Amino acid sequence: MGLFDYEPLVARLQDFELSALAATLPKLLDQGLDEARYGDIPRWRNALASLPDISISNNDLNAAFVRAGLALDVSASTKFQLEMALHGLHPWRKGPFDIAGVSIDTEWRSDYKWDRLIGTIDSLEGRRVLDVGCGNGYHCWRMAGEKAALVVGIDPTPLFVMQFWALQKYLQNPSVWVVPARCEDLPEKLQAFDTVFSMGVLYHRRSPFDHLMELRGALAVDGQLVLETLVIDGADGEVLVPEGRYSKMGNVWFIPSVLTLCSWLRKMKFRDIQIIDVSMTSTAEQRATAWMTFHSLSDFLDPDDARKTIEGYPAPQRAVVTARL
């Protein structure tokens, strides 16, 4: 089955009428955790192996810093070992987390995004949830904190899958899983998830309509889509297509206005489209830290005008939209 034990997930997928996904899981794991393709996997694997065993007192999935245990659960030497092992999985993009007193201050304060949407979307209690482009699973655990019955996160970056397993060693939540996969790798027309999240993915796709179709195919009847993406100010029909990089990212293809995004959703037969939030991304929400030491948002903006990217495009602004089939 691959590098880690996904057998319990197979059983849970079958229990939740997701047998088609269970059947394709071995292929996804073989491709997504292929050491011949991803040469850093052995190094990350060693970092995981060096994580100390800790008797965790309690967890908190509803805090800004998703927490496993307390500082009192470990000695000073064990805490040092834990911190060094976790640093071996640098860079940490999504979070933050607190593991037995080790605060993982990630590049993104992903709790900001969560706080913008959680009071408005449908309750997640008892629901089957898919999180597309989930990173290391930060929002997956927040979804479990809202009593989701099953949360499957997918992300193609093997480092983020390794980070998930490092965190899962201590959080130990059987409802939360992160699988190395892209949305287009999933079986077509699953129609099985009650809520599907796509946050920070749409603008990375060459065809936004293909992505919306994939999201639609994963949703159960009357399911809810929660879509978060970059947007620009503008009228219906306006779309920014960066000629080169956008905010130093080379894989940004289409950035629509909010009205254009809504028209895309209508074209793909979504209904009940609601604009939850439109916010500028701030350097308090995305920044370099000791856990992500590379360039971040402040390096991507025009030093003389923070309203523009370094390339002269409008600075990052994000919208959260919900819709139904």
Q: What is the pLDDT of residues 149-177, one digit of tens each?
A: 999 999 999 999 999 999 999 999 999 99
Would residue 1 count as lying in a domain?
no
Q: Tell me the CA end-to-end span of the chain in Å, nearest whole number.
A: 34
Give backbone dihedrals phi and psi of 323, rounded to 5 degrees, phi first.
Answer: -160, 165
What is the pLDDT at residue 249? 96
**Structural domain boundaries, residue 186:** 7-324
Q: What is the pLDDT of residues 114-143, one digit of tens each?
A: 999 999 999 999 999 999 999 999 999 999
CA atoms within 13 A on the CB side of 123: 3
Report field, pTM of the whole predicted structure over 0.95: yes
116 vs 319: CA distance, rounded Å: 10
In order of 47, 180, 270, the CA distances from 31 in angstroms are 21, 8, 32
Helix, strand or coil for residue 170?
Answer: helix
Would residue 2 count as lying in a domain?
no
In order of 113, 135, 145, 163, 322, the CA distances from 262 in angstroms are 20, 26, 30, 34, 10
In order of 72, 140, 217, 225, 249, the CA distances from 231 in angstroms are 44, 24, 24, 17, 15
Token match 């287009």: residue? Answer: 184
Would residue 223 count as lying in a domain?
yes
Helix, strand or coil for residue 208?
Answer: helix
Residue 62 DSSP symbol: S
- Number of domains forming the structure of the chain: 1
Torsion angle defined by CA atoms of residues 95, 133, 131 and 105, in that order, rounded to the nearest 10 degrees: 0
- Kindly tell me if the per-residue pLDDT of 2 is higher than 60: no
Identify which of 94, 47, 87, 44 has the alpha carbon closest to the alpha carbon of residue 66.
94
Q: What is the pLDDT of residues 207-247, one digit of tens each?
A: 999 999 999 999 999 999 999 999 999 999 999 999 999 99
Confidence grade of residue 4 (pLDDT, cut at 50, 70, 90): confident
Helix, strand or coil for residue 166?
Answer: helix
Would residue 66 count as lying in a domain?
yes
Would residue 161 count as lying in a domain?
yes
What is the pLDDT at residue 198? 98
Q: What is the pLDDT of residues 71-122, one digit of tens each?
A: 999 999 999 999 999 999 999 999 999 999 999 999 999 999 999 999 999 9
- Kindly tell me if the per-residue pLDDT of 201 is higher than 60: yes
- Kindly tell me if the per-residue pLDDT of 15 is higher than 70: yes
Give percent of the chain with pLDDT exceeding 70.
99
Confidence grade of residue 185 (pLDDT, cut at 50, 70, 90): very high
- Kindly tell me if the per-residue pLDDT of 277 is higher than 80: yes
The CATH number linked to 32 is: 3.40.50.150
- Kindly tell me if the per-residue pLDDT of 45 is higher than 70: yes
Give percent of the chain with pLDDT exceeding 90.
98
- Kindly tell me if the per-residue pLDDT of 1 is higher than 50: no
57 vs 273: CA distance, rounded Å: 42
22 vs 275: CA distance, rounded Å: 34
Two tokens, residue 16:
């939740």
Give backbone dihedrals phi and psi of 190, rounded to 5 degrees, phi first.
Answer: -60, -45
